[in-house]
A and B are shown apart, each in its own frame.
Chain A
Amino acid sequence: MGRTIGEVVLDLNNVSLSFGGVKALSDISFDVREHEVRAIIGPNGAGKSSMLNVINGVYRPQEGEIVLRGEHFSRMSPYKAAQSGIARTFQHIALFKGMSVLDNIMTGRTLKMKSNLVQQAFRLGPAWREELEHRAKVEEIIDFLEIQHIRKTPVGRLPYGLQKRVDLGRALAMEPQILLLDEPMAGMNVEEKQDMSRFILDVNDQLGTTIVLIEHDMGVVMDISDRVVVLDYGKKIGDGTPDEVRSNEEVISAYLGASH
């Protein structure tokens, strides 16, 4: 692989989050290094998705802080996270279902587009040039994900596996430094999973994008991740390389042994 794992870019310190009486996350700390593939695993309801939602500011933790490249945040906002180069995909598909594949991915370019409303209304030079420029970039992503044939299709009409791919495309369009993937392969058949793993590894390898990945398929996780965090009932019960995690007693009894 052409990448070398670098410094810590994202550091979570003692994060706690609860919804009413439900403690979704209790005192979680872990870090993510530049260019690595960091997996978060754990049974359903363990708090994995909540963790991603904290990282990109959708949920506000009651305690703890997020350190992003040395900058401390006690509360992140989705806008700030997007500006800081964090993109994500969703466990339950959250595409813009009335829009075409192309338009969905184009929305990922929002923060990079600078022309104003009046320029766009009149299709003035700057707006028009910008649109074509970003279209070219989006077409690269469409080629990369091998979805050329559906670029004009409304996403609501696509099968599940392709929607997941478009979701990834929209996140990639942001050219993120950190990409959060929430169960990108859930509900896919073996072949689709292989395609998706390949895309994720290519992104990590060729673009150097740091990846935080939630995944249930243990085979996939052990194959593609550098380090793994294990959550159970909102608590961290393991953290280390796939091999270390695999041999951790607590993890085996809580997770690997029990539900899978």
Chain B
Amino acid sequence: MLYRENGQFKSSYAADQQIFPIVQDRWAILGIVAFAFAAVPLLANEYLLSAILVPFLILALAALGVNLLVGYCGQITLGAGAFMAVGAYAAYNFFIRVDGMPLLAALLLGGLTAAAVGIVFGVPSLRVRGLYLAVATLAAQFLADWAFLRIKWFTNDSPSGSVSVANLHVLGWKIDSPVDRYLLCLAVLVVFALLAKNMVRSAIGRQWMAIRDMDVAAEVIGIRPMFAKLSAFAVSSFIVGVAGALWGFIHLSSWEPAAFSVDRSFQLLFMVIIGGMGSIMGSFFGAAFIVVLPIFLNQFLPWLGGLVGLAVSTATVSHAEFMIFGVLIVFFLIVEPHGLARLWSIGKEKLRLWPFPH
């Protein structure tokens, strides 16, 4: 069957408010999720799972969190790395200091701690916006860098701020092999993506977008900017915090503060810009793009150089990477603020009407 919504008439508002109102979309998404759970673990090798898929899933989760704040609520943040750090170190402290603390509970508590810190750093958004807010959130980043390096209690008195975790279990399932790690991250991402999608199509999501699009009109309707903005900071930081905890516990298993530097903050922001602001799907596109591009360039550029008889060094590849990101970010900011997700939906719209363009 072609990609069509003809004949799919909605007979109730409930049917009209499904996540994916078009049947083909629903099946495609279910198919992708089923494939990711059932087939990928069989097909992918260890390298693919540990070095590409796990980082992709976790960064997609973090980008999703950043997107709720930046893309949906219109509040800029350069502190996402800090909230990942807070999530990771808070989860670590709960995990090692509380006897018998289950892994999942520690991850969620890490998220909650990040949410609380997020609310505090969201307070400036009630007074300032744009560049000033960016600087205020950047302060969170520097504060976190400093705190996790200097305040020894946070890192259980380890001299370099480096900590590690072992013996991870979820409900009796030992998280050990790359497949386990992959499946855990995938499950967390799917659940959070669903919750986020529900939020953005509910009253709270509409409040965020209203504040983003026209704050005076939003206030006049009875939306309280303080509630809308701080709830966006809280939810966003919660998700970013959980992603940080996963990054530490599952991906790295031993880490130091540098894992959550300002570079990470920028990287997450770039994912959202390239993937598409205000789109859940866009967060995934952005994360995939930023994770995969360097790997692709590492293979492709030396091969291309080989064709014309040039030796391409790793340094050249990483310069090329920066240049490509730079160009793309400028391109998307100016030409298509809705990013790859928008290009994707334009493509779908064309397909929906094909072959009759009108």
Contact = CB atoms under 8 A, between A and B. Distances in A.
Nearest to B235: A117
B231 A131 contact: no
Nearest to A173: B221
Contacts of B196: 121
Interface in B199-229: 199, 202-204, 206-207, 209-210, 212-214, 216-224
B209 A120 contact: no
Given A58-B220, A79-B224, A135-B17, A107 B206 contact: yes
B80 to A, nearest CB: 20
A108 B216 contact: no
B214 A121 contact: no
Contacts, number: 100
Given A88-B220, A90-B217, A94-B216, A132 B17 contact: yes
Contacts of B218: 96, 107
Nearest to B203: A113
Interface in A78-114: 78-79, 81-83, 87-88, 90, 94-99, 103, 106-111, 113
Contact of B210 (A107, A117, A123, A130): A107
A103 B17 contact: no
B213 A117 contact: no
Nearest to A88: B220
Given A58-B220, A107-B218, A110-B203, A122 B231 contact: no
B203 A82 contact: no
A231 interface: no
A226 interface: no
Given A98-B278, A107-B207, A120 B199 contact: yes
The bracket for how many chain B residues form the interface is 20 to 34
A121 B199 contact: yes
Given A95-B217, A110-B222, A131 B206 contact: no
Interface string B222-254: 111000000100010000000000000000000
A38 interface: no
Contacts of B220: 56, 58, 78, 81-82, 87-88
A108 B222 CA distance: 8
Nearest to A109: B203
A58 B217 CA distance: 10
Interface string A125-138: 00100111001100
A79 B220 CA distance: 6
Interface string A176-214: 000000000000000000000000000000000000000
A132 B221 contact: no
A50 interface: no
Nearest to A86: B220
B356 interface: no
Interface in B304-340: none
B216 A120 contact: no
Contacts of A228: none
A30 to B, nearest CB: 21
Contacts of B224: 79
Contacts of B207: 107, 110
23 contacts: A58-B216, A81-B220, A82-B221, A83-B222, A94-B214, A96-B210, A96-B218, A97-B214, A103-B209, A107-B207, A107-B218, A117-B204, A120-B199, A120-B204, A121-B199, A122-B198, A127-B202, A131-B17, A132-B13, A132-B14, A135-B17, A139-B13, A174-B221
Given A58-B219, A96-B214, 8 more contacts: A78-B216, A96-B209, A99-B210, A110-B203, A120-B198, A120-B199, A127-B202, A170-B221
Interface of A: 56, 58, 78-79, 81-83, 87-88, 90, 94-99, 103, 106-111, 113, 115, 117, 120-123, 127, 130-132, 135-136, 139, 170, 174
